[in-house]
Structure 1
Amino acid sequence: MGMDRKIEKKKGIRLKHIIYVLAGIAFILLVLKIAKDSNVSSLKVDKEKITIEEVSQGYFDDFIRTNGNVQPISTIYLDAEEGGRVKERLIEEGAIVKKGDVILVLENRTVYMDIMNSESNLAQKQNYLRQTRINFENALIESKRLLLNSDFDIIKKERSYKQQKALYQDELVPKEQYLQAKEEYEYAVQLQEINKMKMQNDSIIRVTEMNQLEKELEKMTETLNLVRERLDNLNVKAPVDGQLGMLDAEIGQSIGKGTRIGQINVLTDYKIEAFIDEHYIDRVRRELPATIERQGQMFHLAVKKVYPEVRNSQFKIDLVFTGERPENIRTGQTYYINLQLGQPQQAILVPLGGFFNSTGGQWIYVVDPTGEFATKHGIRIGRKNPKNYEVMEGLKPGEKVITSGYDLFGDNDRLILR
């Protein structure tokens, strides 16, 4: 008879075993999470007292916004070329002036005395030169007279000599008489040569002395002209057309030579002076474009000058209009300027907020998808503009972050939102 065989159950992993394992893993993870959460410092925060923004992907417009003041395109300073006491103040601050207009009249007794002395010295030198010229003319006349007498004497002595020579050859006169006539004639000839040399030398001396006197006279005339220029400089004049912007001089006030007493604003054009945070000093350069808005219209500018000095963590720039100017533009007006540092580029963006002051852009609180809490996340911030920060790493578009200030959060790693 056949025997019944007992069928053994196959051994192996069943579904219920898998469920047990997964449940165990979940339990362990839950325990670990609870343990971890218990070690994380937390702070309860009211949602209504914080600002939550969404991280986005978009174009980062690389510009900064600052305010600037309208200034004249250039300023010409007024310095006193000659010191003196203010006698008259003919033009007041704010007045429009033309080149050459007298603004101030100074008086200086020293300058007046210098002019009188120079004029007196010049007159004396002119009189001396005139008298010297007369003396030289008289001396020249006397020299010519002597030369004429010498010529006449030679003619007589030559005639006598020739007569005595002929008579001596005919033995009609003694030899001594002949020799005397000859010697007198030769002496007259030599005397004439001496008179000619004297006349020539006197002429050279006269010309030299006259030239020297005339040069001295020219120098004295130049000196007098310079002193007269000093007198003219007592009239402080406008060097260019423009507007008298400042005048620091009152009637009766003594002003030293070289003292700055005012300025003239050239109004042929205008510029805008702006101060930029030193953070951007390496990025701001000449010809960078900028815009301002006035009554709904955009006006274009360009950076004309970047000043190298940094004061109070800021440096100054000058901008000029590259096209139309706003109507009724005035010195001292304030405009808000958008200075373009670069071209727009795709980037991950986070709106500006007070969090940056606390974190320096190194981390931020990221809100959990449940919206129940937020935790610290390390990030790296790049550039910023008046609206957004450029996020280089650490965040993804769609994530929500707390952008308001963190001053009240302390060093807590987690914020419980309620």
Structure 2
Amino acid sequence: MDRKIEKKKWNTKRIMTIAGIAAVVILVGGSILFTSGKSKLNVDTERITISEITKGPFQEFIPVNGVVMPITTIYLDAIEGGRVEQKFVEDGAEMKKGQPIMKLANTDLELSLANQETAVFNVLTQMQISRDNAQQNTIGKLNQMADVDNALKESERVYKLDKHLYEQKAIGLQEFQKAQNDFTYQVRRKKLNLQILSQDTASTKVQAAQMKESYAHMKSTLELMRRKVGDLIVRAPIDGQLTSMDAEVGQNKKQGERLGQIDVLSGYKVRVDIDEHYITRIFNGLMGDFTLGDKTYKLKITKIFTQVTNGRFQVDMQFVGQVPTTIRRGQTLQIRLALSDQIQAVLVPKGGFYQQTGGNWIFKLSEDGKTAYRVDIQLGLQSPDYYQVLQGLKPGDKVVTSGYDNYGDMQELVLKK
């Protein structure tokens, strides 16, 4: 009797085929999973910093150091060079305007003054002589004019008399013509003398004006020379405190050399050093503040020195409102210089993550807090403590803000306690 043989569904060949396909699928899936960046790393939560995203007032500012200086400083330079002959006060003295500080000796300058005074005296003497001569010359011409007037009057009298006699046939024609010619001569002579006297008067006025101008010029030069000699006594230009005086008796000082300075003690300013990275964002009117004791004081930028030295530039800041009573010249202040107005912003605390990510992404914790995965973010302004978050995070989110040095290209962190 024949028996029906059933065909086996799971033979060896079929099992191996299915196993091969499964292996390929697993391999491809694993490859896709691996290459898609879903790599994980176990991290101990005690070795990382987890921070919460918050929303609150934010103001971009930078910490800078400033040195307290007098509100005004006047530098004392040697207007004229010379040897220090005498010191009237010492460094640190309180000065009044015009009070002498030191005396310099300059023999050449003093000799030049003496020569200039002699030259002015000679010019003045010569001017007096010239003026006397001009006056004598004018007097002589006036006397001559008086003679001409007298001669004219006499010739006119004789002419009129002879004319009458001639008309009466009492004298001859020749005698009458002589009288007429003499009168005509005297008239012309007076006109000529009037012209000469007028020219002499004008010339005398011009000469006198020139001498007066020359004398004024030489006198002005003499006054200038006297001031130059007077500058050998160095005086305080304003009320204040004498500081940084660098002069000893017997020491030679060149013209223009710094001798010291006068500090006005009516107020203070703060000279601040700033990194050149911020030079385009610094302008007059920017505010800053510092804390001294238990109080906060405000400052405002009033002057910017744009010259950059060793990667830094300087600004002057003045106090706004109350000034600390305990502040002293040369004191260093730690100032928070504001670069923006205060706004409400989403904030992430600063941390080492920025060095590896450049602020483009961050590890954000999952809702259960067991893992942290990469998310793209966009940061804006910054302060010493926070970054402003523009995109990618919201208040309440928790992120890993410590450094990412050991994470490589990991896409997810498994947090272990």
TM-score range, shorter chain: 0.7 to 0.9
Count of residue correspondences: 388
The 5-angstrom pairing of residues 187-226 of structure 1 reads: 187-226=185-224
**How far apart are residue 254 of structure 1 and its match?**
3.8
The 5-angstrom pairing of residues 257-296 of structure 1 reads: 257-278=255-276, 280-296=278-294
**How far apart are residue 239 of structure 1 and its match?**
2.5
Per the alignment, residue 302 of structure 1 pairs with 300
Task: State the alpha-carbon separation in 2 of the partners of residues 376 and 199 from structure 1.
Answer: 112
Structure 1 portions without partners, runs of 5+: 1-23
Per the alignment, residue 139 of structure 2 pairs with 141
Q: Which stretch of the first structure deviates more once superposed, 80-89 or 295-304?
A: 80-89
**How far apart are residue 59 of structure 1 and its match?**
0.6
The one-character-per-residue Cα deviations of 1:346-367 (angstroms, maximum 9, x if unpaired) are 41x3322233234332344456
Task: State the alpha-carbon separation in 2 of the partners of residues 370 and 173 from structure 1.
Answer: 158
Task: State the alpha-carbon separation in 2 of the partners of residues 184 and 35 from structure 1.
Answer: 144
Per the alignment, residue 117 of structure 2 pairs with 119
Per the alignment, residue 54 of structure 1 pairs with 51
Identity of aligned residues (%): 35
Matched position secondary structure for 1:247: coil
The 5-angstrom pairing of residues 314-353 of structure 1 reads: 314-340=312-338, 341-347=340-346, 349-353=347-351
Per the alignment, residue 99 of structure 1 pairs with 97
Per the alignment, residue 151 of structure 2 pairs with 153
Residue 411 in 1 paired to residue 408 in 2? yes
> Taking structure 1 as the reference length, what is the TM-score of the superposition?
0.77
Instruction: Tell whether the 8 Å contact from 1:78 to 1:260 is kept in structure 2 after alignment.
Output: yes
- Amino acid in the other structure paired with 1:208: V
Matched position secondary structure for 1:327: coil
Matched position secondary structure for 2:244: strand
Instruction: Tell whether the 8 Å contact from 1:55 to 1:396 is kept in structure 2 after alignment.
Output: no
- Amino acid in the other structure paired with 1:343: Q
**How far apart are residue 202 of structure 1 and its match?**
1.7
**How far apart are residue 163 of structure 1 and its match?**
5.0
Task: State the alpha-carbon separation in 2 of the partners of residues 236 and 94 from structure 1.
Answer: 16
Instruction: Tell whether the 8 Å contact from 2:348 to 2:389 is kept in structure 1 after alignment.
Output: yes
Instruction: Tell whether the 8 Å contact from 2:162 to 2:171 is kept in structure 1 after alignment.
Output: yes
CA spacing shift, 1:401–1:181, aligned 2, 3 Å:
closer
Per the alignment, residue 9 of structure 2 pairs with none
Instruction: Tell whether the 8 Å contact from 2:55 to 2:395 is kept in structure 1 after alignment.
Output: no
Per the alignment, residue 71 of structure 1 pairs with 69
Per the alignment, residue 127 of structure 2 pairs with 129
> Taking structure 2 as the reference length, what is the TM-score of the superposition?
0.77
Per the alignment, residue 5 of structure 2 pairs with none
Per the alignment, residue 229 of structure 1 pairs with 227
CA spacing shift, 1:377–1:79, aligned 2, 3 Å:
same
**How far apart are residue 324 of structure 1 and its match?**
0.9
CA spacing shift, 1:194–1:255, aligned 2, 3 Å:
same
Task: State the alpha-carbon separation in 2 of the partners of residues 41 and 319 from structure 1.
Answer: 53
CA spacing shift, 1:178–1:278, aligned 2, 3 Å:
closer
Instruction: Tell whether the 8 Å contact from 1:60 to 1:390 is kept in structure 2 after alignment.
Output: no
Q: Which stretch of the first structure deviates more once superposed, 378-387 or 279-288?
A: 279-288
Q: Name the Cα RMSD after superposition.
A: 3.7
**How far apart are residue 296 of structure 1 and its match?**
0.9
Instruction: Tell whether the 8 Å contact from 2:271 to 2:314 is kept in structure 1 after alignment.
Output: yes
Per the alignment, residue 355 of structure 1 pairs with 353
CA spacing shift, 1:118–1:59, aligned 2, 3 Å:
same
Structure 2 portions without partners, runs of 5+: 1-21
Q: Which stretch of the first structure deviates more once superposed, 196-205 or 86-95?
A: 86-95
Per the alignment, residue 183 of structure 1 pairs with 181
Task: State the alpha-carbon separation in 2 of the partners of residues 243 and 51 from structure 1.
Answer: 56
Task: State the alpha-carbon separation in 1 of the partners of residues 181 and 93 from structure 2.
Answer: 94
Task: State the alpha-carbon separation in 1 of the partners of residues 48 and 391 from structure 2.
Answer: 21
